[in-house]
A and B are shown apart, each in its own frame.
Chain A
């Protein structure tokens, strides 16, 4: 407590750099998380370069050869002679192209909803944590309680039911269907960020440097943004990366249930839903391809999240566990 402010600042910076170094050291030691990182990277590449990677336009419907009917198995050709590497769907669209574009859609929704949830949740949690014990805290945390009292999927279904599918006009703003899905998923996940954030802020507030800053006469807002928030980044990143996996799961579950994306936009969950009708015709590829695409991306985020958790902030590891 006797240190002067400049020394304290130095300490803070050093702790920060140390954290990053420590992180990388730990992270590369953990082979599984590297694998996760690579999977996620691959998916990002697939998503970004979908137009280059997909063999065909994902909405184009090809005809089956005479005497056959879509869906066609992998390695067959359409009447026009186009090769379906991983088979076709019931409309004669290329499964591989749809899976690639579907990956893009899925990641867009997942990243978008996490971003919105972060903004909402971090803000709520930080304010609640900082104003601990006041009515502000109480109000925010009760709101969080209410939201957490619904199972995610139930709340999402109810919200989507209320908004309907398609564009929604709210005053001058037009929300596209996809943005709406992002917002809905974000609303259901933001309370979790809020809880984690509040916990972390509470913990940080007890640290010496906050007291030091207070002693040094810094204002509340300044302490919150400059000192506390910086230190809460690691656990929030861990939470976000773990949450990516569950967001992917939720958004694909919603499309599986037929709520969410509109045709003909490729969606992995919807592909699985459609595939159910063709199981007994033994069109296994229709279900297996999108299923493997979804499972792998979730695996990637889980591995990465685990690795990040262990290496970024071992102290938080327990708390952040699902």
Chain B
């Protein structure tokens, strides 16, 4: 008996201790663990959350997705010579966490380091056709391009989203164990000019930042925040529970199913904004049933059959049902490869019929499967969400007698299969438009390049050997692009882009389903957080004005 009492007392004690809040500590729940905190080489969202707060960007995209200099290291810019030169005026009086002053030399170092081919910077291509980087004075930098680079501000907002001090990347070495690729000096010890300094990173658990009192902008970091802890929580359900219980103040994502109930909770603020992620079904155009093999080039019958089956897919998939069932209606159907409400989306595409069972059946019959009998694989990234979308599509197609084998595989294997083999029929993934330039997406997704994941291409000397001409139209498409990219008149460029989009939809090169909304939630003790939210879903604490535990 005595022992029992003692145990109860101990339990109560533990409860008490555990419920004590840590004053001044802002706790943020994130879904995936970051893996590299060097802005020049990171590629994942998780690392981005930390980088946004430890570093300052050179240029950023505002909440309207237009370039802005709010909380950036560039005070103003000037585009000259038909977008072949950009002159940047930099902010003065900015200090890095290591105490050094920020100058134009740092920016030049950032650009040069990524341009150096030995450094294998993954986003190097976004820097543009840089010819020279000249330091005019400590706070003025001039960059020259060999060709007009109209998208420079958009692209740089991603590729230069964290400015590091000169020489901070350190030297790369191949001696660091068998891995060789050990990242840079900043990978685990980031140094920036941002409002928070890096403290520690316990793998699988959390990352701690503390306030940087010498931050250049007044009122940032906000009163009341001493430390920031990014907790790697993993599943969204638990994250929400912690937010409701008050042990987290901000969560990076809210599950669609929980958004409504969460927004009715007292003490919790929610915000829903259109995101940048498109959910798509990709079809392998380099092999039947949706494409043709190298042997079938010119075989009208095979080409026609593949076309009918792609059309069938386009009309058989019921996007509204997917959106309703899995995303609780919080998505926007796409009528083509671009944002449905953008003026860069062809007006001819807006509002076209998407789901149409009769039309679908018609195409299926034309393809020679009047009673079904078609079967194919759909590979999906092994994340609940993609597998779920595939499962709903599988069920939708089952009603036509079409048998879909859903194969969940991890991302690594997904890309390997997609990019290096013809051994797949369809795939389910998402893609984030990291900038807001339709034409740049029409290039990377469909143009004659070496990372085209639908296999829509034709043979060309500069492409991998196994690439062959697939369904017709690719050469015309590329010609349209070549015309559009040098077209100086915006309206004419737009019309060319529309034409390309129409081509993609008419031929069903890829099925873009919908763009999902980003759902955010935070406790009302974090004032101002919502003002910094943009469609990229960043966690940007610079906008927080007040924090009260």
Given a CB threshold of 8 Å, the question of whether A touches B is answered with: yes
| Distance A278 CA – B255 CA, assembled complex (angstroms) | 10
The one of B241, B391, B408 that contacts A165, using a Cβ cutoff of 8 Å: B408
Q: Is A52 an interface residue (CB 8 A)?
A: no
| Distance A164 CA – B390 CA, assembled complex (angstroms) | 18
The one of A69, A164, A264, A278 that contacts B395, using a Cβ cutoff of 8 Å: A264
The one of A69, A92, A164, A167 that contacts B409, using a Cβ cutoff of 8 Å: A164
Q: Are A263 and B390 in contact (CB under 8 A)?
A: yes
Q: Are A277 and B392 in contact (CB under 8 A)?
A: no
Q: Given A263-B406, A281-B258, does the pair A70, B325 have CB atoms closer than 8 Å? A: yes
| Distance A56 CA – B390 CA, assembled complex (angstroms) | 21
Distance from B420 Cβ to chain A, minimum over Cβ atoms (Å): 14
Q: Are A278 and B387 in contact (CB under 8 A)?
A: no
* Residues of chain B lying within 8 A (CB to CB) of residue A263: 387, 390-391, 394, 406, 408
Stretch from B80-88, B232-240, B513-521 contacting the other chain? B232-240
| Distance A279 CA – B237 CA, assembled complex (angstroms) | 8
B257-306 with Cβ < 8 A to chain A: 257-258, 261
* Residues of chain A lying within 8 A (CB to CB) of residue B395: 59-61, 91, 264
The one of B236, B237, B257, B388 that contacts A69, using a Cβ cutoff of 8 Å: B257
Distance from B397 Cβ to chain A, minimum over Cβ atoms (Å): 12
Distance from B172 Cβ to chain A, minimum over Cβ atoms (Å): 30
Distance from B239 Cβ to chain A, minimum over Cβ atoms (Å): 10
Distance from B321 Cβ to chain A, minimum over Cβ atoms (Å): 8
Q: Are A264 and B391 in contact (CB under 8 A)?
A: yes
Interface core residue of A90, A92, A165, A263 (most chain B CB under 10 Å) = A263
* Residues of chain A lying within 8 A (CB to CB) of residue B241: 280
| Distance A263 CA – B380 CA, assembled complex (angstroms) | 11
| Distance A91 CA – B388 CA, assembled complex (angstroms) | 9
Q: Is B19 an interface residue (CB 8 A)?
A: no
* Residues of chain B lying within 8 A (CB to CB) of residue A279: 237
Q: Are A59 and B398 in contact (CB under 8 A)?
A: yes
Q: Are A274 and B406 in contact (CB under 8 A)?
A: no
Number of interface residues of A (CB under 8 A): 23
Q: Are A91 and B382 in contact (CB under 8 A)?
A: no
| Distance A103 CA – B489 CA, assembled complex (angstroms) | 65
* Residues of chain B lying within 8 A (CB to CB) of residue A281: 257-258, 261
Number of interface residues of B (CB under 8 A): 30
The one of A70, A92, A167, A264 that contacts B394, using a Cβ cutoff of 8 Å: A264
Q: Are B409 and A277 in contact (CB under 8 A)?
A: no
Q: Digit string of B325-339 for contact with A (CB within 8 Å is 1, else 0)?
A: 110100000000000
* Residues of chain B lying within 8 A (CB to CB) of residue A278: 237, 257
Q: Are A262 and B407 in contact (CB under 8 A)?
A: yes
By beta carbon, the residue of chain A nearest B382 is A258
Q: Is A166 an interface residue (CB 8 A)?
A: yes
B378-392 with Cβ < 8 A to chain A: 382, 384, 387-388, 390-392
Q: Are A91 and B408 in contact (CB under 8 A)?
A: no
Q: Is B356 an interface residue (CB 8 A)?
A: no
The one of B384, B398, B405, B406 that contacts A277, using a Cβ cutoff of 8 Å: B384
| Distance A291 CA – B42 CA, assembled complex (angstroms) | 40
The one of A70, A91, A166, A276 that contacts B237, using a Cβ cutoff of 8 Å: A276
| Distance A279 CA – B257 CA, assembled complex (angstroms) | 12
Distance from A116 Cβ to chain B, minimum over Cβ atoms (Å): 23
* Residues of chain B lying within 8 A (CB to CB) of residue A69: 257, 328
The one of A91, A164, A262 that contacts B392, using a Cβ cutoff of 8 Å: A91
Q: Given A166-B405, A264-B391, A264-B406, does the pair A277, B325 have CB atoms closer than 8 Å? A: no
Q: Is B494 an interface residue (CB 8 A)?
A: no
Q: Is B413 an interface residue (CB 8 A)?
A: yes
| Distance A92 CA – B395 CA, assembled complex (angstroms) | 11
Distance from A157 Cβ to chain B, minimum over Cβ atoms (Å): 12
B387-426 with Cβ < 8 A to chain A: 387-388, 390-392, 394-395, 398, 405-409, 413
Distance from B325 Cβ to chain A, minimum over Cβ atoms (Å): 7
Distance from B150 Cβ to chain A, minimum over Cβ atoms (Å): 43
A260-313 with Cβ < 8 A to chain B: 262-264, 274, 276-281
| Distance A262 CA – B394 CA, assembled complex (angstroms) | 12
Q: Digit string of A157-193 for contact with B (CB within 8 Å is 1, else 0)?
A: 0000000111100000000000000000000000000
Distance from A270 Cβ to chain B, minimum over Cβ atoms (Å): 10
Q: Is B377 an interface residue (CB 8 A)?
A: yes
Listed by A's residue number, 11 A-B pairs whose Cβ atoms lie within 8 Å are A61-B395, A69-B328, A165-B409, A166-B407, A258-B408, A262-B407, A262-B408, A263-B387, A263-B390, A263-B408, A277-B235
A-B contact sample (19 more), CB < 8 A, given A166-B409, A263-B394, A276-B237: A60-B395, A91-B325, A92-B325, A166-B405, A167-B405, A262-B405, A262-B406, A263-B390, A263-B391, A263-B408, A276-B235, A277-B235, A277-B255, A277-B257, A280-B237, A280-B238, A280-B240, A280-B241, A281-B257
Q: Which 4 A-B pairs have the closest CB atoms?
A: A166-B407, A263-B391, A280-B237, A61-B395
